[in-house]
Structure 1
Amino acid sequence: MTSAEEHPDTGPGTRPDERPVLAAGCVLWRRSPVDGGLEICLVHRPKYDDWSHPKGRLKRDEETLAAALREVEEETGYEATPGTPLTASHYEANGRPKQVSYWAAEATSGVFAPNDEVDRILWLPPETARDQLTQARDKDLVDELLALSTE
Structure 2
Amino acid sequence: MTSPQKPVRAAGCVLWRRAPTEDGLEIALVHRPKYDDWSHPKGKLKRGENALAGAVREVAEETGMDCRPGAPLPTSYYDANGRPKQVRYWAAEALAGAFTPSTEVDRLEWLPPAEARTRLTQERDRPLVDALLAALHLA
Among 117, 127, 131, the alignment partner of 2:104 is 117
CA deviation after TM superposition for structure 1 residue 37, in Å:
1.9
2:72 aligned with 1:82? no
Please state whether the residue corresponding to 1:128 is helix, strand or coil: helix
- List alignment gaps of at least 5 residues for structure 2: none
Match status 1:128 vs 2:115: yes
Structure with more contact order per residue of length (Cα contacts < 8 Å, sep ≥ 6): 2
Residue in 1 that maps onto 2:26: 39
Secondary structure, counterpart of 2:110 in structure 1: strand
Deviations 1:59-91 (A, max 9, x none): 011100000000000000000000000000000
2:81 aligned with 1:94, yes or no? yes
Letter of the structure 2 residue corresponding to residue 30 of structure 1: R
For the residue of structure 2 that corresponds to 1:18, the secondary structure is coil
Gaps of 5+ in 1: 1-13
Q: Give the Cα–Cα distance (whole angstroms) in 2 for the partners of residues 116 and 60 of structure 1.
A: 23
Give the TM-score normalised by the residue count of structure 2: 0.93
Percent sequence identity over aligned pairs: 65
In structure 1, distance between residues paired with 2:136 and 2:98: 25
Tell me, in whole angstroms, the C-alpha distance in 1 between the residues paired with 2:25 and 2:129. Answer: 11
Distance 1:117 1:79 in 2: 18
Structural RMSD (CA): 1.6
Residue type of the alignment partner of 1:38: L
Q: Does 1:72 align with 2:78?
A: no
| Greater fraction of residues in helix | 1
For the residue of structure 2 that corresponds to 1:39, the secondary structure is strand
- Paired residue total: 136
1:103 is aligned to 2:90: yes
